[in-house]
Chain A
Amino acid sequence: MALRKGKNTILFENPPSIRAWAAIGSTMEAQGPLGGSFDLIEEDAYFGQDSWEKAESQMQERVVRRALEKAGFSSAQVQGAFAGDLLNQCVSSTYGLRALGIPYVGLFGACSTMAESLLTASVFLEARAMERAVACTSSHFCTAERQFRFPLEYGGQRPPTAQWTATAAGAAVLERGERPPFVRGAVVGTIQDLGISDAANMGAAMAPAAADTLKRFFEDTGMRPQAFDLVVTGDLGQVGFDLLRELMAREGHPLDHCQADCGLMLYDREKQDVHAGASGCGCSASVLCGHLLPLLRQGTLKNLLFVATGALMSPTVVQQGESIAAIAHLVWLSHDRSGEVKSCRY
């Protein structure tokens, strides 16, 4: 059974196992420092399709098929797909998973979707409502640009606080099994809004959400950030990373050298023109599924807090003068099924 610890933290008595995973990316992602960790790289940003939306759906279909193949399951053996993305009505997930015939739970958590889908799938598995499930999300630079910003060919300048939406997707296959890593716990995020309205500074809008979720986890469990190998956020970028560091220090839970951010890991900010770092659902999903989960399986990383952050606004409400509401969901991933966590190793 999933147990509640403290006010908001969920701990799993029989932690679901992540059996297999896959990550897919495109040219920019292949050129980044984690380029070698992707299962699939497609140089053609259209992924062989005739629209950007179809390209993103194609990305999800390919990454889920690859993860199932690695797990050794057919789609009929999986009882649930938990997926979402940034596009209106989550069409990348719907149309990407359409051909697979897996019972589908569509999720919207913007860029926090990877943590949200892992968390939701884990609760279903713990409740024995399912034996196996897939958690998946994606983002595509070109679909995000046209929905949230400007046409691709429009001549504009980005401020240094802007981030680059990753063209990437990640999928994880969970089961009630014995292979590491395990989902040991989770915290569902609350909606946080400290009045940031600059859509070109998402890191600043999302940092308070990450801080709030982390604070609740540490207070509920009595654990310290230093007990984890990494506390890795989704896509705060440099601005949000610095702000989270400051917010956590003020709250009495300094993150020190355990802190990492997928948005700062995916690209080489010196060589690639991505300003404050990477963003998008696919950023944290591909860094987790391509880079971090293998390290957790090997035991190189023992315990990790994965805190994916999402900005929940739409261009319409921002144009109406609303500020950017944000959320962060936390998932505690561990090499071990049970036991206490050890000390920070980085």
Chain B
Amino acid sequence: MGMTPEEYGKLVQRASPPSPTGKNLVMAFLVGGGICTLGEGLLLLYQSMGASEQNAPTLVSVTLVGLSVLLTGLGVYDKLAKVAGAGTLVPITGFANAVASPSIEFKSEGLVLGLASKMFLIAGPVLVYGTAASVIYGVLLWLWERL
């Protein structure tokens, strides 16, 4: 073909419809906000049931993760995410979905080589860089306090 990759890239850009950003933003805001509101509601509920200030947020996280894994297993979470986008990806429920979905998917290769080894296929980078970032932050905080 007598065309450079640059010329073709421009043609492709013109031919490719963009993602509906406006709609995606609104849906992400509504669903993501909904999940956070649910979390806030759960926090108040657990506190009213006598959970300590330290334990209540942990209970909220555990509840949201459990709910997300359940919805992933029932095949509901991916359908919600198709509409909600970042609204279901960013909250802790998205992280739970990213761990649960490969666990279900790769169960066919066995509990060890499939489920367990592929469990962190998607969430692995978050754990690695999240942990690394928290170590760096800790070191910086330790240095700051000594200045």
A139 within 8 A of B: no
| CB–CB B81/A155 < 8 A | yes
Closest CB in chain A relative to B79 CB, distance in Å: 8
A1 within 8 A of B: no
CB < 8 Å: which of A157, A208, A239 contacts B81?
A157
B11 within 8 A of A: yes
B1-51 contacts to A (CB < 8 Å): 1-3, 5, 8-9, 11-12, 15-20, 24
| CB–CB A154/B5 < 8 A | no
| CB–CB B82/A157 < 8 A | yes
Given A153-B72, A194-B8, does the pair A51, B108 have CB atoms closer than 8 Å?
A: yes
A141 within 8 A of B: no
CB < 8 Å: which of B1, B3, B82, B105 contacts A152?
B105
Which of chain B's residues have a CB closer than 8 A to the CB of A100?
A: none
Q: Which of A64-72, A165-173, A241-249, A302-310 contacts B (4 or more CB under 8 A)?
A: A241-249
Chain B: residues with Cβ within 8 Å of the partner, total of 39
Closest CB in chain B relative to A316 CB, distance in Å: 14
A52 within 8 A of B: yes
A21 to B122, CA, bound (A): 41
Given A194-B5, A208-B8, A243-B11, does the pair A153, B104 have CB atoms closer than 8 Å?
A: yes
CB < 8 Å: which of A160, A192, A242, A246 contacts B19?
A160
- What secondary structure prevails in chain B residues at the interface with A? helix
Which of chain A's residues have a CB closer than 8 A to the CB of B121?
A: 151
| CB–CB A208/B1 < 8 A | yes
Closest CB in chain A relative to B95 CB, distance in Å: 11
Q: What 0/1 pattern do residues 87 to 122 of B give for CB contact below 8 A with A?
A: 011000010011011101110100000000000011
Which of chain A's residues have a CB closer than 8 A to the CB of B15?
A: 204, 239, 242-243, 246
| CB–CB A150/B80 < 8 A | no
| CB–CB A160/B105 < 8 A | no
A229 within 8 A of B: no
Report the number of A-B residue pairs with Cβ-Cβ less than 8 Å: 108
| CB–CB A155/B8 < 8 A | no
Which of chain A's residues have a CB closer than 8 A to the CB of B85?
A: 157
Q: What 0/1 pattern do residues 238 to 279 of A give for CB contact below 8 A with B?
A: 010011001100110000000000000000000001000000
Given A146-B105, A150-B122, A194-B3, does the pair A246, B97 have CB atoms closer than 8 Å?
A: no
User: Residue on A with the closest CB to B107?
Assistant: A51
A159 to B17, CA, bound (A): 9
CB < 8 Å: which of A153, A155, A204, A242 contacts B105?
A153
B124 within 8 A of A: no
A261 to B105, CA, bound (A): 32
Which of chain A's residues have a CB closer than 8 A to the CB of B8?
A: 194-196, 208
| CB–CB B81/A50 < 8 A | no
| CB–CB A154/B101 < 8 A | yes
Closest CB in chain B relative to A279 CB, distance in Å: 15
Given A51-B108, A243-B15, does the pair A151, B24 have CB atoms closer than 8 Å?
A: no
Closest CB in chain B relative to A314 CB, distance in Å: 16
Given A194-B8, A204-B12, A212-B1, does the pair A157, B102 have CB atoms closer than 8 Å?
A: no
Given A194-B3, A196-B12, does the pair A153, B82 have CB atoms closer than 8 Å?
A: no
Which of chain B's residues have a CB closer than 8 A to the CB of A160?
A: 16-20
Which positions in B face A, CB cutoff 8 Å? 1-3, 5, 8-9, 11-12, 15-20, 24, 72-73, 75, 77-78, 80-82, 84-85, 88-89, 94, 97-98, 100-102, 104-106, 108, 121-122
- Interface pairs A-B: 7 shortest CB-CB: A155-B81, A195-B5, A151-B105, A153-B101, A151-B101, A154-B101, A194-B8
Which positions in A face B, CB cutoff 8 Å? 50-53, 146, 150-161, 192, 194-196, 201, 204, 208, 211-212, 215, 239, 242-243, 246-247, 250-251, 273, 323
- Name 26 A/B residue pairs within 8 A (Cβ), A-sorted: A50-B108, A52-B108, A151-B102, A153-B75, A154-B101, A155-B77, A155-B82, A155-B88, A156-B81, A157-B85, A160-B16, A161-B17, A194-B5, A194-B8, A194-B9, A195-B5, A204-B16, A208-B1, A211-B1, A212-B1, A215-B1, A239-B15, A242-B15, A247-B3, A251-B2, A273-B82
